[in-house]
Amino acid sequence: MEPATTRESETNQAWRTGDRDAFADLVREHQRSVFFVALRTARGDEQLARDVVQRTFEQAWKKRESFRGEASAKTWLLTIATNLGRNELRRAWRHHETVPEGGEEAEPMGPTEPRALDDLQAKQARGLLREAVDALPERQREVALLRLYEDLSFPEVGAACGISANNAKVNFHHAVKKIRSFLTARGVTA
Amino acid sequence: MNDDLHPTIERLGRVDLIDTAAYDDAFFDGLADAVMGRIEAGSTESKVLELPRRRAPRWFAAAAALAAVLVAGVMLNRAPVEPAPAPAIADADPLTTLGAELGRDLLAEVTADPTPAEATLATALTVEDLLDGAEDDDLYASWSLHDELDDLSAAELQSIITRL
């Protein structure tokens, strides 16, 4: 687990004691990461992601005194956001609500020679990769998203998902292999 | 982690699932304002008047607890052996009937949803997942049942033990 930076520790001390201005700084500093994690978790549902962001910071504010500073504030916030996003998705599935796919379906590819993922158009690559990631089991999906796009260490990914660092590493390993197999079956090498 | 996966990981990391460029500074300024607005509103709502309370001395609480235990013991000894017949639903007042219905609905809802422990186990790796690629990865040499149990929260462990 990477220790919190000195600058972050100083800021934390301020918002942990109820300083709203310091907390507003924290929001502005980390809201992009929290929103994008929520948006990926929510499969592109912007409204759901915005709701997760608001609830994440509300919980952080309410439980600010429980933050011990052992992990970075970013990891702590992403842990809350991941849990909330997971619960929202499960709730949507239980109630058979439709979760939008973000409006970017993978465009069908003709029976051509295998192409590299890098060679595809951005929209096509994004749609195809989203299909591959969405086909993963929930735990592997969460681990893959945090590791690939937030560049968290395995201990941090584990902390955010409530599993050990070793388990996070195993889940990531399987996730990448499954994504690669998914793409290969569609004529794309990665 | 296998070395041959690293190029794949690098390529995957370059293709984000979402178009982050579509969200500019104005979007996040608005989001930050909304977040802080809700926090301000929440702080205003949660303000309550705290009335001073006079605490009774500890000996009084201990005496009251002892008295309660004694009364409960006496009442249990005087209770009839045969349990009193439960009142028929038809005799129950509307409030009781409504309560019973609410209770049944809640029970049905709880039993219909998976418990957290079951939900966690349902998403755990399958045996095929663990065996898949095991030959070419020394990661599994350090993987054990202890690691699996270590991943469960206290509540999940308690739930499993209770079921067993």
Q: Report the CATH number that the domain containing residue A10 is assigned in CATH.
A: 1.10.1740.10
- Residues A123, A189, single domain; the answer is yes
- Residues A8, A74, single domain; the answer is yes
pTM over 0.80: no
| Distance between A104 CA and the closest CA of chain B, angstroms | 9
Residue where a domain stops, chosen among A103, A128, A152: A103
Sign of the CA dihedral running A133, A136, A138, A142: negative
| CB pair distance less than 8 Å for A53 and B35 | yes
- Residues A99, A110, single domain; the answer is no
Residue from A75, A89, A47, A99 nearest B31 by CA: A47
Q: Worst-scoring range by mean pLDDT, A32-41, A99-108, A136-145?
A: A99-108
- Residues A84, A65, single domain; the answer is yes
CB pairs under 8 A between A and B: 127
The pLDDT confidence band at residue B154, using thresholds 50, 70 and 90, is confident
- Residues A50, A17, single domain; the answer is yes
| CB pair distance less than 8 Å for A35 and B17 | no
Confirm whether the ipTM is greater than 0.95: no
- Residues A137, A115, single domain; the answer is yes
| CB pair distance less than 8 Å for B12 and A117 | yes
pLDDT tens per residue, range B10-57: 888 888 888 888 999 999 999 999 999 998 887 765 444 444 444 555
- Residues A155, A89, single domain; the answer is no
Give the residue on A whose Cα is nearest the Cα of B1.
A173
- Residues A57, A120, single domain; the answer is no
Q: Which domain does A157 fall in, by range?
A: 106-190
DSSP chain A: -PPPPHHHHHHHHHHHTT-HHHHHHHHHHHHHHHHHHHHHHTTT-HHHHHHHHHHHHHHHHHTGGG--SSS-HHHHHHHHHHHHHHHHHHHHHHTTPPPP-TT-PPPP--S---EEGGGS-HHHHHHHHHHHHHTS-HHHHHHHHHHHHS---HHHHHHHHTS-HHHHHHHHHHHHHHHHHHHHHTTEE-
Residue where a domain stops, chosen among A70, A103, A136: A103
Residue from B9, B35, B40, B156 whose CB has the most chain A CBs within 10 Å, to mutate: B35
| Distance between B85 CA and the closest CA of chain A, angstroms | 40
Structurally, how many domains does chain A consist of? Answer: 2
Give the residue on A whose Cα is nearest the Cα of B2.
A173
Residue where a domain stops, chosen among A85, A103, A121: A103
| Distance between B24 CA and the closest CA of chain A, angstroms | 10
Give B130: exposed, middle or buried? Use CB within 10 Å, 0-12, 13-18, 19+.
middle
